[in-house]
Structure 1
């Protein structure tokens, strides 16, 4: 799975209050949808499953999945909701608005559907601290209109807030084996900054700050990056060295010193191990 294609983009986000007993039936969204019940009660039917929803219910419906809403006859629900694509789609040519609903399965344009997220997301969960979720949503409320010159700048801010929400949402709904301990990301940001500024500290300094053991640190690190810490650091430095080999004329010895390798011999040996080429061979190839 190429995760670089996943760039979540919100098309429409709003607050919607149902009337008593109101039904929204036979809906097929071209976008994926997240619903948060902020008030009241109702029922969701989807693919033969029924969910009784109330305040704090969080529901996820993938694109194209049929679903029906029925509001309670006495205490109708209020939706805080968003319709978004995991991969941005331009639907100008097919629809008058970016988040379009189809009410007849026979008319559904399958080539316009958002793609499925690669990990399973539960359809129905209950959230605590409802006000935090509502605060997230309210920051990216957006009308169901295509972006134009007038709305371009505000849309940048909207998408920025939406990405923060998606990070918050996925951290909540995905299982631990898909989402590493969030503490490791803070550590990685610091590690990357220290590498960029040539101020790398001993590894124990980083995991002691998190108050975790060396073994757990190595486990978290590899889960988050796919590499043990030393390999990650070496790969980081080699990638920076590649940039210099491509885009500068400074010598291999200067590059080794610049990126804090203990010697040009060690730099060349490690470079060959990771790339299959010597630094000079790499530079000659990219300049051919």
Structure 2
């Protein structure tokens, strides 16, 4: 049954070590929903999170974890129904989703840690990363009473997707997989009107400058109607151009397709939750499929 109460986080286990398995023959499952609030000292604010997971967890396999930026959009993404359908039909392994709600500071908290864009947006991205790695993940461990998950993924949409990739890239000891829906890979250090070149794209630079290839699997999605902008006038919208160029940077670091990188380009797909909801099953099956 859905729990809409926004209580302060109490470190009482949702499940225990003996309840982290469920019966694979039981196809009628219930996805439980709970809203919690975690106090972040790093961000100096309360972080609201929506938790989605199977209500009955007694199957013979470990739980997986998915962190999701822009978690306030779970309803428009139809995420609960998607999880239910995929788990009920035995398409994915059991997943705990922790959907993090953004607030009015979204443009400051999302981005690339320590590297704001040319308008100084993303100035708190380093603090958001600190919250994820030193506050949220330990809180989830206490909340679930689980010492580890089979896999831990981070995903997001648009600027939230850029944030997810940046955090996972720099903390691959904590994350196995990352999903980026219509990622804001245009994120740049220089204004278009002030001598911009493609070398000014920040996430591309982070990958290019990395000395070590992270042990990370990456899933990327764009839509052919994500936007209309075409900086270099090559007939390909920037969203797709920037994502393809990002894949090229990944390949230069030793990533291979499709083993390490998956790319989904949706014909007619737009920059909205309707498109991302349609792409979500493909991501979940990629990340947690049987």
Asked if these proteins are the same fold (TM beyond 0.5), I'd say: no
Instruction: Name which one, 1 or 2, has greater alpha-carbon Rg.
Output: 1
Calculate the TM-score normalised by the size of structure 2.
0.26
Q: In proportion to residue count, which structure has more helix? A: 1
Calculate the TM-score normalised by the size of structure 1.
0.26
